[in-house]
Amino acid sequence: MTGPARSVPTDIPFGPADVPWQKAFSGLRTLDGTPTVTPPSSDPRETYDDVPGIPYAGFQLPACALTEEQYTEAESLLRAHLQRQCRNSVGFQLNGDLDYQHRLAPYLDLPVNNAGDPYRTGSVTHNTKILERAVLDYFASLWNARWPHRDDDPESYWGYTLTMGASEGNLYALWNAREYLSGSPLLHPTPTPTPGPSAPGTARNTLAAAHREQGSDSFHPVVLFSADTHYSVTKATRLLGLDTMRSLGERRFPGENPLGRGTPWPAAVPSAGGADGKGDGDGDGDGDGTIDVDRLAVIVRFFAARGFPVIVNLNYGSAFKGAYDDVASAARMVHDICAEHGLDERHVDHGRPGPTDVRTGYWVHVDGALGAGYAPYLQMAHQAGLVAAAPPLFDFRLPQIHSITTSGHKWMGTPWPCGVYMTRTRLQMLPPAESEYIGSADTTFGGSRNGFSPLVMWDHLARRSYDDQIRAAVECDRLARYAHDRLRDLQAESGRDLWVARSPFSLAVRFRRPSTLIVTRYSLSCETTRVAGLVRPYAHLYAMPHVTRDLIDALIRDLAAPGAFSPDSANT
Ligand SMILES: *Cc1c(COP(=O)(O)O)cnc(C)c1O
């Protein structure tokens, strides 16, 4: 290490032609022969992870740009690599069965932008909001919300298509929940029905704006989620400065964890049959991955009894095990316990002229990244007698549900992350400001929003009937069962416990983590779990529409080979 004025190496080979970075500048872009932009301080090729088969040199970007031949060589290497990896990918809940390029390629040269609210045209007229609304109406119907969206119908749905995936949906849901429960103004205030806000008897539930300023617990939500919850929920909680049961418990109620007096507050609500008894709730155990509704009830009761509003995240297809929480029972329980403590109907006086509004003191969000896109079709298949059983109810038919999100790239299959967020119009918050600049209410997170994603989702839905979707869902369900059977056969033949398991209706099958070679070849997703105090490195596969029995068979053959589960390679 030299001092602050250390010299940078000038002989690092760079770019496809191995020409040092400094030498690729023309006179136009240098000052006295020295480039005006910053050189590398060490060799990037040696700094970053290798991608087997595609050397970084061919992709580095020199000041003189790539020649046509260099570009072509790099691009064909990349394409072959991605095509191979996508073909063999069985580890994620991503649908790789895509077929868009022939119809949609022309749109790549149009700067489509869906800035602002989907239901206002806005001043960026080159948008695909007309398709966005069609996609949202489709999901509103699929999820049994009241549609179309109408500003003047508080019971109708409102939603938007996400520029990120369900991570953005979860973030938006928790933001919406935080604002709603902490008494911020609604976009469409619903006047209080009789008795009026000043009538006697409503005092207990009337929350004055003054309380909010005093930091009253009545405006202080706590987020509850299970140990099997996706990391985006924890991240959103932190981004939004929300309290979890652990942070609020440790700060305000040390030693009072109602799940075990004297034990530390867990970060998450335990999953059913899955806790290792330590009560740390960190995803431990080999249960099916659904939230333990009874223990959730204990936690909801603890905070509701102390006046705190609760935000409950439920998983409809958890990320690793693909588990379906019993959304209906959990949501009803949350409502009933909250009602006992005056958290069902709260009259919020938000400090502005006009009537107070009535709100729940809880918010139930459904993270349906894969499941909310897939399970409705499996439910229809069940109704048609095509499958023996289907996941439980989760959608807007349940009056206690506030929001649902799904990813577009999971069940439907899109070339990039996208998704849908949906809530009820009466739950929408007043945006910080009406944006005159975009000529549209600023109801979404993004400024610019991806306008290509609604086109891709619309294309997917426009080309498939419900019958097609139902058949595809049944196929995937069968394929997951096939993979589960083959893995259990392998387990029996190997005489070794490979921890093979499939949660009910899940498209994921989990098993002992194999060697890194196999993990990379099939893009397997891995997670470490503790069962009865022992560390278990798991991998899983997902039976998505592009996965074939041949691909499962190839994976099984690799898993049957000697050294496939060698322990040294299993922990890297
Ligand atoms: C994939 C997933 C997410 C995150 O979705 P992205 O679309 O990747 O942002 C959230 N929750 C669950 C249960 C998931 O499976």
pLDDT of residue 155: 96
pLDDT of residue 279: 42
Q: Which of 78, 56, 77, 74 is nearest to 66 (CA)?
A: 74
pLDDT of residue 373: 98
Residues within 6 Å of ligand 1 by CB: 93, 164-167, 230, 232, 315, 317-319, 367, 369-370, 407, 417, 419
pLDDT of residue 14: 97
Nearest-atom index, ligand 1, CA of 417: 7
Span 14-68, pLDDT tens digits? 999 999 999 998 877 677 778 889 999 999 999 999 998 899 999 999 999 999 9
The phi, psi pair for 44, rounded to 5°, reads -60, -30
Question: How far apart (Å, rounded) are the C-alpha atoms in residues 357 and 539?
Answer: 49
Question: How far apart (Å, rounded) are the C-alpha atoms in residues 393 and 292?
Answer: 17
Question: How far apart (Å, rounded) are the C-alpha atoms in residues 288 and 291?
Answer: 9
Look at the chain and count its residues: 572
Choose the residue to mutate in 161, 239, 407, 418 for probing ligand 1, maximizing ligand atoms within 8 Å of C-beta.
Answer: 407
542 Cα: distance to centroid of ligand 1 (angstroms): 14
Choose the residue to mutate in 93, 94, 167 for probing ligand 1, maximizing ligand atoms within 8 Å of C-beta.
Answer: 167
398 Cα: distance to centroid of ligand 1 (angstroms): 22
Question: How far apart (Å, rounded) are the C-alpha atoms in residues 456 and 132?
Answer: 10
Burial (CB count within 10 angstroms: exposed 0-12, middle 13-18, buried 19+), residue 378? buried
Residues of the chain with confidence (pLDDT) below 70? 1-6, 29, 191-214, 274-285, 350-355, 433-441, 567-572
pLDDT of residue 193: 53
Other Cβ atoms within 10 Å of 467 Cβ, number = 11
pLDDT of residue 530: 83
Question: How far apart (Å, rounded) are the C-alpha atoms in residues 390 and 505?
Answer: 7
246 token code pair = 């652990």
165 Cα: distance to centroid of ligand 1 (angstroms): 7
pLDDT of residue 357: 85
378 Cα: distance to centroid of ligand 1 (angstroms): 20
Say which DSSP state 289 is in. Answer: S
**Category of 65 on φ-ψ map: left (φ > 0), alpha (ψ -120 to 50) or beta:** left
Q: Which of 171, 306, 331 is nearest to 249 (CA)?
A: 306
Q: Which of 92, 167, 239 is nearest to 421 (CA)?
A: 167
- Smallest CA separation from ligand 1 atom 2, residue: 369
324 Cα: distance to centroid of ligand 1 (angstroms): 14
What is the full DSSP assignment across 215-238? T-GGG--EEE-BTT--HHHHHHHH
pLDDT of residue 435: 57
Q: Which domains does the chain have, with CATH numbers?
A: 13-88 (no CATH), 166-181+203-407 (3.40.640), 468-569 (3.90.1150)
Contact 156, 218 (CB under 8 A): no
pLDDT of residue 188: 87
Secondary structure (3-state) at 548: coil
Span 178-198, pLDDT tens digits? 999 999 889 888 765 544 444
pTM over 0.95: no
369 Cα: distance to centroid of ligand 1 (angstroms): 5
Say which DSSP state 316 is in. Answer: B
Exposure string over 448-460, b if 16+ CB within 10 A, otherwise e: ebbbbbbbbbbbb
